[in-house]
Amino acid sequence: MNIEQLFQPFTLKSLHIPNRIVMAPMTRSFSPGGVPTDEVAAYYARRAKGGVGLILSEGTVIDRPASSNDANIPRFHGEQPLAGWQKVINGVHASGGSMGPQIWHMGIMENHASGWLPGAPFEGPSPFKSADFQNGQAMSEADIADTIRAFGQAAADAKALGFDCVELHGAHTYLIDQFFWEVTNNRSDGYGGKTLLERSRFAIEVIREVRKRVGDDFAIILRLSQWKGSNYGNKLAKTPQEMEQWLTALADAGVDIFHCSQRRFWEPEFEGTDLNFAGWAKKLTGRASITVGSVGLSGEFLAAFRGESSNPASLDELLRRYDRGDFDLVAVGRAILADPEWVHKVRQQRTGELVGFAREALGQLI
């Protein structure tokens, strides 16, 4: 298998990147008061220097009173946070990289261990985060309209600051995903419904608004996950037909690239073929897709939160699928969090220098 396959350029609208490797969005909570610091800017610039094709920022929250549960998570609204993000994108560009912020509203959340609380109750399609946990309130139609506006404003600000694209966080049981999921969306108005397509109305309106604000030529990435934090085996779309309806509607609303979150990229999405989520997304919509999940590492990321270390692992299976045309881009999380030089080391086959991932890496901005 030839690693050089991953070092072909990729161009889509506003995105022009020299290779297929994406830094996955990873929350770091190093932005006190929601303002990205110079250290945060330097951390991303190191990844640009290190050869990452496209950097996706950690999730950064929109202008709603309860879009975050953590004061140290960066905001993507307000003068100081946006000035911080300006430094981030300037540093990345000066280092030869490209970047998009991951625009986020957490929806219904657990209270943070720090004791910090937002200025209003958490909000979601319902008060539920899972079948047996609730904390906050169901959004009114006015709340929904304002949230859609705030997503659009954040995307417009990303473009104005000079970012190369935006990613909308529609995965991992946060707000947009809470609307998709029947367990957290029990609404009886036009934002609920029995089918996944009906429950996609909120996402569709967010994407349309973002498209309206950024114009036709700015790349929009949507991150999705079938799995939920409280149920890794969950499938929002239970069949390829259901997935086609869902993703086609999202593509028609304006998504350019589907970022398909899996814990392990090699796991098949449906029985009968080895195609993964990113493979199905590309096949069903004709849009570009990003795969992710334990690329170059032996263990998966949720186990990493529980303290499990991972060793470097072969990229052969990834390359086999890439070569087959399953996906366009490959996101790498922990391996790049732990080592800004990961891309260069992989390309130059300096495998003995790869460091793997240990939980200690989370405590600092390496």
Ligand X SMILES: Cc1cc2nc3c(=O)[nH]c(=O)nc-3n(C[C@H](O)[C@H](O)[C@H](O)COP(=O)(O)O)c2cc1C
- Residue 321 interacts with ligand X (CB under 6 A): yes or no: no
CB of 327 to ligand X, least distance (A): 14
Considering only the stretches 20-28, 31-39, 77-85, 200-208, report the one whose residues sit in contact with ligand X under the rule CB under 6 A: 20-28
Q: Which of 257, 66, 117, 260 shows the shortest CA–CA distance to 177?
A: 260
x/- string (CB under 6 A) for ligand X, residues 101-120?
A: -x------------------
Among 43, 181, 191, 301, binds ligand X (CB under 6 A): 301
- Helix (H) / strand (E) containing 59: strand 54-61
Q: Where are the alpha helices (DSSP H) in 166-233?
A: 175-180, 196-199, 201-214
Nearer to ligand X, 10 or 174 (CB): 174
CB of 336 to ligand X, least distance (A): 8
- Helix (H) / strand (E) containing 123: strand 123-124
Considering only the stretches 30-38, 247-255, 272-280, 291-299, report the one whose residues sit in contact with ligand X under the rule CB under 6 A: 291-299
Secondary structure of residue 220 in the 3-state scheme:
strand
Nearer to ligand X, 175 or 332 (CB): 332
Among 207, 249, 292, 338, binds ligand X (CB under 6 A): 292
Secondary structure of residue 57 in the 3-state scheme:
strand
Q: How many CB atoms neighbour CB 112 within 10 A?
A: 16
| Under 8 Å between Cβ of 165 and 101 | no
Q: How many CB atoms neighbour CB 147 within 10 A?
A: 24
Considering only the stretches 154-162, 231-239, 300-308, 315-323, report the one whose residues sit in contact with ligand X under the rule CB under 6 A: 300-308
Give every CB contact of residue 15 below 8 A, 6+ residues apart in sequence: 54, 98, 164, 165, 219
Tell me the sheet residues that pair with 16.
11
Considering only the stretches 114-122, 143-151, 312-320, 331-339, report the one whose residues sit in contact with ligand X under the rule CB under 6 A: 331-339
Nearer to ligand X, 138 or 335 (CB): 335
- Residue 318 interacts with ligand X (CB under 6 A): yes or no: no
Considering only the stretches 37-45, 235-243, 249-257, 296-304, report the one whose residues sit in contact with ligand X under the rule CB under 6 A: 296-304
CB of 296 to ligand X, least distance (A): 7
Secondary structure of residue 66 in the 3-state scheme:
coil
Euclidean distance between CA atoms 280 and 274, whole angstroms? 10
- Residue 59 interacts with ligand X (CB under 6 A): yes or no: yes
- Helix (H) / strand (E) containing 129: strand 128-130
- Residue 169 interacts with ligand X (CB under 6 A): yes or no: yes
- Residue 170 interacts with ligand X (CB under 6 A): yes or no: no
- Residue 361 interacts with ligand X (CB under 6 A): yes or no: no
- Residue 228 interacts with ligand X (CB under 6 A): yes or no: no
Q: Where are the alpha helices (DSSP H) in 52-195?
A: 79-94, 141-161, 175-180
- Residue 25 interacts with ligand X (CB under 6 A): yes or no: yes
| Under 8 Å between Cβ of 91 and 340 | no
Q: How many CB atoms neighbour CB 145 within 10 A?
A: 13
Which residues form the interface with ligand X (CB under 6 A)?
24-27, 58-59, 102, 169, 171-172, 223, 261, 292-295, 297, 300-301, 304, 332-335, 362
